[in-house]
């Protein structure tokens, strides 16, 4: 395993034990790696790269909701690229394209320039608007306004436990909506 794989696996093990900081660190490393691989793959398929960020976000959601399926003794890469490949195929299929994407294409990695795309991802936002009001408010508070769970709980007059439940449900229903679109 190379350094990156060792670091990712270590971070994911901490995340699975409940370490939010390690988890955030990991996701911030995964996002640019995913972005680059997805974009290159879209180019090769002749598909519009404008959808890159949507696929990255869908993949991150799936990583989050399925993180317990990673086998802690394995490197994280093969697991991650398999999920990314699946989410990309699903995404393109919904767009009416039938594609075969070999998973090997996701295993390659070249260091990507760090970039922070501020535009391009629309799907999550669209579906977010259709979520139950409480889930929406909690997710916006934590994601967009950067409030902690405790701050959100105080602001919305909820218990921190209820905020966590609403947040988790928001991710689950976002993912379900994206799938059934």
Q: Which is nearer to other proteins, 41 or 57 (CB)?
A: 57
What minimum distance in Å lies between the beta carbon of 137 and other proteins? 12
Interface positions with other proteins (CB under 8 A): 15-21, 23-24, 27-28, 31, 35, 53, 56-57, 60-62, 64-72, 74, 77-83, 86, 103, 116-118, 121, 124-125, 128, 139, 142-144, 146, 148-149, 164, 167-168, 171, 175, 179
Q: Which is nearer to other proteins, 46 or 60 (CB)?
A: 60
Contacts with 127 (C-beta within 8 Å, 6 or more apart), sequence order: 174, 177, 178, 181
Q: What is the DSSP letter of 174?
A: H
What minimum distance in Å lies between the beta carbon of 151 and other proteins? 11
Q: What is the DSSP letter of 17?
A: T
Distance CA 66, CA 177 (A): 16
Q: Which is nearer to other proteins, 110 or 144 (CB)?
A: 144
């Amino acid at each position: 395993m190379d350094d990156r794989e060792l670091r990712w696996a270590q971070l994911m093990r901490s995340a699975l034990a409940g370490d939010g900081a390690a988890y955030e660190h990991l996701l911030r490393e995964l996002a640019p790696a995913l972005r680059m691989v997805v974009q290159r793959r879209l180019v090769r398929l002749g598909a519009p790269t404008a959808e890159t960020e949507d696929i990255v976000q869908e993949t991150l959601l799936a990583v989050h909701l399925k993180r317990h399926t990673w086998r802690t003794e394995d490197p994280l890469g093969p697991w991650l690229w398999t999920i990314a490949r699946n989410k990309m195929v699903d995404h393109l299929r919904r767009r009416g394209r039938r594609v075969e994407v070999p998973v090997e294409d996701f295993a390659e990695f070249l260091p990507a320039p760090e970039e922070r795309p501020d535009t391009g991802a629309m799907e999550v936002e669209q579906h977010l608007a259709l979520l139950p009001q409480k889930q929406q408010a909690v997710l916006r508070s934590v994601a967009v306004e950067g409030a902690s769970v405790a701050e959100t709980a105080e602001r919305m007059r909820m218990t921190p436990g209820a905020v966590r439940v609403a947040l988790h449900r928001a991710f689950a229903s976002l993912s379900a909506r994206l799938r059934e679109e």
